[in-house]
Amino acid sequence: MDDAPALSAPLADGLLAIVGERGLVTAAEDLAPHLVDWRGQFRGRAAALVKPASTDEMSRVVALLAGAGVGIVPQAGNTSLCGASVPDASGAQVIVNVSRMNRVRAIDLDNDTITVEAGCILADLQRVAAESDRFFPLSLAAEGSCEVGGNISTNAGGTQVLRYGNMREQVLGLEVVLPDGRVWDGLRGLRKDNTGYDLKHLFIGAEGTLGIVTAAVLKLYPKPRAIATALVAVADPSTAVALLGRLRAACGERVTGFELMARVCFDLVFRHIPGSRDPFGEPHPWYALVELFDSTEGPGLAGLLEEALGDAAEAGLLRDAVVAASEAQRQALWALRENISDAQKIEGVSVKHDVSVPVSRTAELVAECDRALEAAFPGIRTIAFGHVGDGNLHYNAFPPPGDAHDFLAWSPQVNRVVYDVVRRLGGSISAEHGIGALKRDELPHYKAALELDLMRAVKRALDPRGLMNPGKVLQP
């Protein structure tokens, strides 16, 4: 990789005066981890990496860069799957990273809220909530490294959206540094505030294109006292959807997670992840990982789940089931689900999709995409898994065995097949990963022109010079 253009001396001196030596990174070896996404699909160059340690420093950094007309790439844990946190190839942009801003500012147990800075790692937030006998529900595979600012900027989903909702539902207030360096202090822990436009929602899911989230007031919940988990073998996605409805009717809002996985997902995990084992004696075509939470202690929740599964079995909705009898068994079942992404990465290149449809149309999505892709690319391998409880499926495609072509070069054609099916079913081409750079050019095909016009109007109003995460989400 060629060296990136150096910062001008006045700009470098100005940044150094604000953040100090610890907060300004220009050496190529130190920049390198911040220039590539988790999948290794997007690589860029940057003039520097700046790591402010406070909102005041962030404000001054952004104002200085904006005054110099420098493109700003906000970055948190850099676990984005769509290239939103990676600079372009010009080498002229500056990455502004929030990782040093990682304090818990306040916990209000009477209000059930926690105020944290954007660089707080999600797992640390979960731990602090648990230490206060509370629960923060966002949970996803990258929680040990992803950061709150990124979770907010992508409106992260995860495995408990069915009960608690996306990150958007967890945010009561935000603090944001705007593209000109001004600070909007919206850190209000209010569940009712009907004083005009709810501005925080502009920045949730905006992928850093409208400003940099520096802190948030987040909801806390009662800590679960009982958890019941089961891995259920089912015939097909249609049966899984019917099982979900039956479980919700029997168990109500206790149904917290419902993850659907094709058998091929498990085959990849068993092949590539050491220590993985099949909890069933024979393979099944599809599986659902079911989890119930209750704030009341006692064995009653496991009994409720077993009774509901028994009724479902009598109705022909499941082929077999394994109910976790200990926390270790629960973790082993979840490991099968959480290791799918890593197993796919080891297996090789694939074209990935993070799509959503109404829950009732999940089975149609899988069937129609399978048929359409096989017709267009004979021998193609597909893998489907995800949060079917909220209609979000990760539907990915691998090349035929032994195929020597550059499969990623087929991405546009594969995407068009899948996205056209998603559109016919009333769905979205991005459920929880965002748009970033990966889907930016696809968006005009699947988003109404008026919606895009409104989005551009918001972008122009807040970032008229287009300096905040340029080239992401919206076409220039």
| Strand 72-75, strand 94-97: pairing | parallel
Distance CA 461, CA 298 (A): 54
In 349-464, beta strands by DSSP E: 354-356, 381-387, 392-398
Edge-to-edge strand ranges of the sheet holding 48-50: 24-25, 48-50, 94-97, 72-75
Cβ atoms of 211 and 151 within 8 Å: the answer is no
pLDDT value at residue 401: 81
375: which 2 tokens? 């017709």
Helices (H), 222-361: 237-251, 263-272, 300-314, 327-338, 340-347
Query: For 169-207, how does the pLDDT look when each residue is reduced to its tens digit (9 = 90+)?
Result: 999 999 999 999 999 999 999 999 999 999 999 999 999
Q: Is 90 exceeded by the pLDDT of residue 141?
A: no
- For the chain, how are helix, strand and coil distributed in percent, rounded to 5? 40, 20, 40
Q: In the beta sheet, which residues pair with residue 382?
A: 397
Average pLDDT over residues 250-272: 96
pLDDT value at residue 404: 59
pLDDT value at residue 189: 97
Count of other CB atoms within 10 angstroms of residue 284: 17
Share of the chain above pLDDT 90, in %: 91
Q: Is 70 exceeded by the pLDDT of residue 143?
A: yes
Cβ atoms of 55 and 183 within 8 Å: the answer is yes
Tally of helices (H runs) and strands (E runs) in the chain: 17, 18
| Strand 171-177, strand 286-294: pairing | unpaired
Q: Is 60 exceeded by the pLDDT of residue 235?
A: yes
Distance CA 146, CA 120 (A): 8
pLDDT value at residue 1: 39
Q: Is 80 exceeded by the pLDDT of residue 328?
A: yes
pLDDT value at residue 403: 74
Domains 226-341 and 348-438 share a fold: yes
3-state secondary structure of 268: helix
Which of 97-101, 211-215, 410-414 shows the lowest per-residue confidence on average (mean pLDDT)? 410-414
Query: For 19-48, how does the pLDDT look when each residue is reduced to its tens digit (9 = 90+)?
Result: 999 999 999 999 999 999 988 889 999 999
CA-based nearest residue to 189, from 176, 203, 174: 174
Cβ atoms of 273 and 343 within 8 Å: the answer is yes
Domain limits, the chain:
9-97, 104-222, 226-341, 348-438
Average pLDDT over residues 132-147: 94
In 206-248, beta strands by DSSP E: 212-219, 221-222, 226-234
CA-based nearest residue to 352, from 42, 128, 136: 42
pTM exceeds 0.75:
yes
Question: What architecture is domain 9-97?
Answer: 2-Layer Sandwich (3.30)
Query: For 413-467, how does the pLDDT look when each residue is reduced to its tens digit (9 = 90+)?
Result: 999 999 999 999 999 999 999 999 999 999 999 999 999 999 999 999 999 999 9
CA-based nearest residue to 393, from 354, 350, 438, 342: 354
Average pLDDT of every residue of the chain: 95
pLDDT value at residue 413: 94
53: which 2 tokens? 């340690």
CATH number attached to the domain at 226-341: 3.30.70.2190
Q: Is 90 exceeded by the pLDDT of residue 2?
A: no
Query: For 262-319, how does the pLDDT look when each residue is reduced to its tens digit (9 = 90+)?
Result: 999 999 999 999 999 999 999 999 999 999 999 888 779 999 999 999 999 999 999 9
Query: For 36-93, how does the pLDDT look when each residue is reduced to its tens digit (9 = 90+)?
Result: 998 888 999 999 999 999 999 999 999 999 999 999 999 999 998 899 999 999 999 9
CATH number attached to the domain at 348-438: 3.30.70.2740
Count of other CB atoms within 10 angstroms of residue 276: 16
Average pLDDT over residues 397-421: 87
Question: What architecture is domain 104-222?
Answer: 2-Layer Sandwich (3.30)
